[in-house]
A and B are shown apart, each in its own frame.
Chain A
């Protein structure tokens, strides 16, 4: 198990280099110019040239990428580099990029965890229910709801919720902040809708498939109660795709709650990213995107580890085989 973990973590290294390279390259080719940003539109060409040299922007692309990774020395614009967790200061707020990210990440985590919890809490049981009564009236109704949940744009759902519950009914506030649990309800509901729909459908189809397997027939032939057949024999087998989807959803929620956070004016990672993009705050964008990519990659690792706990066949592929004495053949 620990060997497998080590291998998986080592495999993250090339992935992370690839991700940071792509993010950096994308930022490099976008037509925003940090030097111009710093100086404003009325700077003289000489000052502009000096600024580019100071910020290290006059060097070739690959050198700039290496600076980004390993650090850049300059009294004002220097930083230790991504590998050392330092991308310098934001051009706008003048705060350390990663400090800002780390201070807002817990807020996003609360939102994402709440949304995933809510999505699993309803999605999995409804999925199981639908699978045990496929094409029944209730299944149809849930299917329609899932379709709605999956196809409703987040911003629209958020606005409908705000209009109904904040504006008309005045149950929940329209603005959210992490200190106030009541104010988190609307953004969590908004965020969980899509995930819930996906998880519900995935649970349903996975359960339906598993219920057709021979070993389910075996369990029934043994006289097991239908409850045991569903929850012991079928559910564990059906969980793998559900865990995969839930993990991916969580990764997305962590990085992509952008719209929801913006609408509810919630001080999370998404808000920081959008603000950084609006203000062409290059270090902040690079830092946030790399951070999100990192969490996403770790989320996938976590899902892979979870597989092992659900399916023993996957576990044996990474646990070292124990030497076992040759099984005795009986006289039979």
Chain B
């Protein structure tokens, strides 16, 4: 499998009121060409920060990528100059944001917003760029004559389709979809996902699909990574992770879903809260909430352990024949 994106020991920090917020902590992750990787985790796990880092969009002075490296299609993203970065953004790597209501510029027509991206990256004429914009809108099921309308004239679901058209207008190699359906209601969600799936397949785009819905991951992804406190704690194929979740946190996530086959009054939530990113616990970041935590979990930070091609960051598997 060809690796399109490789993150190694990535660290991202934000700064506010003299506090250091450790949003991403030594994260490593590989994305494979043409695959959809689901990234699941609670709010505040650092999912959006991770996506923005891939575009080198963490803006000083509020935040900074403090360590690690990011390789996209062999190129080091963190050493690119401004110009190279801008050429990459929107062209090779596109991003869909969570909230379509605020992601589009209210004073520019949707056609203009798509066309200017095409114009920026494809070196075509204004007319051709506008034509592409209209075609893209039709691809996502919006009549071309509405290209001259403004975002407020569209419904939420249509706006998100505009955002998708915008992201896919330049045939990106990698699409970062940051909770693309969270702000939409369930029926619209299904439409938007169907559309995304279809377009991704057609264009052969690799996708980082950020969500906190395990159901969406099962339906849409090839691989899954579980993120907790700025780390990937488990990584595997959808089959591996759903069939045999290893990390206590992933297990907890499944445990907090309603089980239709069992009669139970209450869900089983994971006790406690995400650790404070300004003051992460020593040892395993999940240890304060982990029902299986032992002495070593509280003192030593776990390393990645390979369990039959299924990566997990947990001390429980050290002794079970996994190699560190």
Please report A residues at the B interface, Cβ cutoff 8 Å. 213-215, 217-225, 228, 232-233, 236-237, 310-313, 316, 327-330, 332
Residues of A within 8 A of B42 (CB): none
In the complex, which residue of chain A has the Cβ closest to the Cβ of B85?
A223
Task: State which of B87, B90, B97, B141 has its C-beta within 8 Å of the C-beta of A332.
Answer: B141
Instruction: Determine if A222 and B166 form an interchain contact, defined as CB atoms under 8 angstroms apart.
Output: yes
Instruction: Determine if B106 and A222 form an interchain contact, defined as CB atoms under 8 angstroms apart.
Output: no
Are A223 and B120 also in contact (CB < 8 A) when A218-B97, A327-B142, A332-B140 are?
A: yes
In the complex, which residue of chain B has the Cβ closest to the Cβ of A213?
B102
Instruction: Determine if B152 and A313 form an interchain contact, defined as CB atoms under 8 angstroms apart.
Output: yes
Are A221 and B142 also in contact (CB < 8 A) when A215-B103, A236-B107 are?
A: no
B191 in contact (CB, < 8 A): yes
Are A218 and B152 also in contact (CB < 8 A) when A223-B91, A327-B142, A327-B146 are?
A: no
CB distance from B195 to the nearest CB of A (A): 4
Instruction: Determine if A224 and B55 form an interchain contact, defined as CB atoms under 8 angstroms apart.
Output: no
Are A330 and B140 also in contact (CB < 8 A) when A224-B116, A313-B106, A316-B153 are?
A: yes
Instruction: Determine if B89 and A215 form an interchain contact, defined as CB atoms under 8 angstroms apart.
Output: no
Residues of B within 8 A of A213 (CB): 102
Instruction: Determine if B106 and A328 form an interchain contact, defined as CB atoms under 8 angstroms apart.
Output: no
B108 in contact (CB, < 8 A): yes
Are A312 and B97 also in contact (CB < 8 A) when A221-B57, A236-B107, A329-B141 are?
A: no
Bound-state Cα–Cα, A237 to B163, Å: 19
Residues of B within 8 A of A214 (CB): 97, 99, 102-103
Are A237 and B153 also in contact (CB < 8 A) when A223-B120, A332-B198 are?
A: no
In the complex, which residue of chain B has the Cβ closest to the Cβ of A239?
B107
Residues of A within 8 A of B121 (CB): 223
Are A218 and B105 also in contact (CB < 8 A) when A223-B90, A316-B152, A328-B141 are?
A: yes
Bound-state Cα–Cα, A220 to B87, Å: 11
Instruction: Determine if A327 and B143 form an interchain contact, defined as CB atoms under 8 angstroms apart.
Output: yes
B254 in contact (CB, < 8 A): no
Bound-state Cα–Cα, A222 to B86, Å: 8
Interface centre among B85, B94, B106 (most CB of A within 10 A): B106
Please report B residues at the A interface, Cβ cutoff 8 Å. 55, 57, 85-91, 94-95, 97, 99, 102-108, 116-117, 120-121, 138, 140-143, 146, 150, 152-153, 158, 163, 166, 191, 194-195, 198
Instruction: Jot down 20 A-B pairs with beta carbons below 8 A, ordered by A.
Output: A213-B102, A215-B104, A218-B105, A222-B116, A223-B85, A223-B86, A224-B116, A224-B120, A225-B86, A232-B108, A232-B116, A237-B105, A311-B106, A312-B106, A312-B152, A316-B150, A327-B143, A332-B140, A332-B194, A332-B195
Instruction: Determine if A223 and B88 form an interchain contact, defined as CB atoms under 8 angstroms apart.
Output: yes
Bound-state Cα–Cα, A134 to B91, Å: 30
CB distance from A141 to the nearest CB of B (A): 20
Instruction: Determine if B86 and A224 form an interchain contact, defined as CB atoms under 8 angstroms apart.
Output: yes
Residues of B within 8 A of A237 (CB): 105-107
Residues of A within 8 A of B86 (CB): 223-225
Instruction: Determine if A310 and B89 form an interchain contact, defined as CB atoms under 8 angstroms apart.
Output: no
CB distance from B7 to the nearest CB of A (A): 18
Instruction: Determine if A215 and B57 form an interchain contact, defined as CB atoms under 8 angstroms apart.
Output: no
CB distance from A79 to the nearest CB of B (A): 49
Instruction: Determine if B55 and A221 form an interchain contact, defined as CB atoms under 8 angstroms apart.
Output: yes
Nearest 8 interchain pairs by C-beta: A330-B141, A223-B90, A223-B89, A222-B90, A214-B102, A332-B195, A215-B105, A312-B150
Residues of A within 8 A of B163 (CB): 218
In the complex, which residue of chain B has the Cβ closest to the Cβ of A311?
B107
Are A310 and B107 also in contact (CB < 8 A) when A217-B57, A217-B97 are?
A: yes
In the complex, which residue of chain A has the Cβ closest to the Cβ of B193?
A332
CB distance from A185 to the nearest CB of B (A): 36
Residues of B within 8 A of A327 (CB): 142-143, 146, 158
Residues of B within 8 A of A332 (CB): 140-141, 191, 194-195, 198
Residues of A within 8 A of B143 (CB): 327-328
CB distance from A312 to the nearest CB of B (A): 4
Bound-state Cα–Cα, A279 to B101, Å: 60
Instruction: Determine if B146 and A215 form an interchain contact, defined as CB atoms under 8 angstroms apart.
Output: no
Bound-state Cα–Cα, A232 to B117, Å: 13
Bound-state Cα–Cα, A228 to B117, Å: 11
CB distance from B61 to the nearest CB of A (A): 10
CB distance from A289 to the nearest CB of B (A): 38
CB distance from B127 to the nearest CB of A (A): 19
Bound-state Cα–Cα, A220 to B59, Å: 11
Residues of B within 8 A of A330 (CB): 138, 140-141, 195
Residues of A within 8 A of B97 (CB): 214, 217-218
Instruction: Determine if A219 and B105 form an interchain contact, defined as CB atoms under 8 angstroms apart.
Output: yes
19 A-B pairs besides A215-B104, A316-B153 with CB distance below 8 A are A215-B102, A215-B105, A217-B103, A218-B166, A220-B89, A221-B89, A221-B94, A221-B95, A222-B116, A222-B117, A222-B166, A223-B91, A223-B120, A224-B90, A312-B107, A313-B150, A327-B146, A330-B140, A332-B140
CB distance from A322 to the nearest CB of B (A): 11
